Structures are given as C-alpha cells and as structure tokens.
Structure 1
Amino acid sequence: MMYPGFNTTKLAESKAFYTKHFGFEVIFEDDWFVLLKRGEYELGFMLPEMPQQNSLFQPAFGGGSWLAFETDDAHQEYDRLQQAGVPIVAEIKDEVWGDRHFVIKDPSGIGVDVYQRLQTE
C-alpha cells in the first residue's frame, strides 16, 4: 500500500473537500493529521512544521503536485462540482490523446484533474 500525503494548514478544509466532493471517508484524524480512504485509495494531510516529523516532511505544500480522478461521465461530474460551488480552473474539454477532462483546485492549492477516458477507434 502506498498513499500520497500533503502538508497543509487547511486540514479541516481538505477533509471536507474530499469527503463531500469525492466520497472519501476519514479513517484516522488528529489535530495534526487526517487520513482519508476511498475504496483502495488513501490520501493524507498533515500540518507543516511538526517537530516530531523528519525535517524532510515539515515544509508546507508548495505546488507542483496534482491528483487525478477517473469518472465514467466527465460532464456529469463537471456539472455536479460546479453546482456545489467548486471553482473550475480549466473548463471541460476533449484532448487529442483520448481524455475528456477539467481541472479544479482543492483548499490547499493541489490541482485535481477529473477525467474520462474516451473510447478511441
């Protein structure tokens, strides 16, 4: 098992975002860390500058990371998230490599690519 983890001061906001919009459930929560799970996938968020952590794991998230969620219907997800008030960073579009997708940003600034694999012939 492997899961990505992100340092953020927005633990509560991140937990709410992923549980509300993507169906994650909380499997561990403390005042400095939250671990979420959806099916076989886990996602962790930790406060930055925690002295009990190795210095490599202490800096706050600084960008350059993203998460991707596959869906059977990108238009439906786009409408659902837009109606929920989630800001859309990149509008839905079809790509030449066979994906239909759009991009949102979570409360910590992590890019979230919601995509649908289109059938190609």
Structure 2
Amino acid sequence: MKFWSGVVTEKVRESKDFYVRLFGCEVLFEGEGDWFVLLQLGEGEIGFMKPNMPSQPSIFRPAFQGQGLWVAVDVDDVDAAYARIQSLGVPIEMPPRDEPWGDRHFVVVDPNGIGVDVVQHRQGAA
C-alpha cells in the first residue's frame, strides 16, 4: 500500500508545469484535453484533475479552495534547491530557515495556492 493524493483544480496544466519545472516530476499519465495529470517524484505521486468531471463521484467534483493543504518535497541539499528555484524567478514565500527539530526548509506556493515545503531532514536534530 501507499498514499497518493490529488487536487481538483482548473489549473491542471499549470500544476504539471510547476512541479515538472521545479522538482523534475515524471508525468505518469496525462489525460487528453488537460482533464487530469498524474505526477511522480521518487516514490510519491500527486494528481491534478479538472473540477465537475461527470465521470467522477460528486465528492471529487468541487475545486480546491486554496487553503488547508500543503505538499512537502524532501531534498538532499535545501540550499542548492533554493538557489536553483530562486534562479528560475519563482517567488519564495519563506526563505530557508533552520528548525529546532533539525529540518532546514523553505516554502514556495504552487499555482493552486498550495504551500510547497522544500525540506532537508538533517541528522542530529535536537
């Protein structure tokens, strides 16, 4: 078993472009007409689907409203990831910082308003 998540959004193509460009996600499936895309990064997967798809149960039809969700991307070198993403001209929501539990991270926002926490887990955390 494994978890994977999906976001119902009008911004399927923009979401795909964001995650592929910033993190090198692989496109596992892309529906014709941009109705759905499934991305993979390492062992994790995330999907983006257009709202109000008649083929979907009603629970999966309303669009995400832009609050109460985050995505985390684990990296080996957060400062290198920060420099690369910043060089792409992507706005940074929170610059790199160290946390008391040992993580170092920064935050960007995807096209849906989802905070993307780019995290380096460091050994020897307090």
Does the alignment reach a TM-score above 0.5?
yes
Matched, 1:68 2:72: yes
Aligned residues: 121
1:43 to 46, 65, 71: 46
Alpha-carbon distance in 1 for matches of 2:3, 2:78: 26
Deviation at 1:42, TM superposition (A): 1.3
Which residue matches 2:91?
87
Q: CA RMSD in A?
A: 1.3
Unaligned runs of 5+ in 1: none
Q: What SS class does the counterpart of residue 107 from structure 2 fall into? A: strand
1:108 to 102, 108, 112: 112
Amino acid paired to 2:112? S
Structure-2 change in CA distance of 1:117 and 1:2 (3 Å):
closer
1:63-104 residue CA offsets vs partner (Å, 9 max, x unmatched):
211111111111111111011111111111001111111110
Alpha-carbon distance in 1 for matches of 2:61, 2:93: 28
Amino acid paired to 1:79? A
Alpha-carbon distance in 2 for matches of 1:115, 1:64: 19
2:101 to 97, 104, 107: 97
Which residue matches 2:37?
34
Moved over 4 A (4+): none
Deviation at 1:38, TM superposition (A): 2.3
Normalised to the residue count of structure 1, the TM-score between the two structures is 0.93
Alpha-carbon distance in 1 for matches of 2:70, 2:11: 17
1:19-78 residue CA offsets vs partner (Å, 9 max, x unmatched):
111111111111211111223221100001112211111111122111111111111111
Normalised to the residue count of structure 2, the TM-score between the two structures is 0.90
Unaligned runs of 5+ in 2: none
Q: What SS class does the counterpart of residue 103 from structure 1 fall into? A: strand
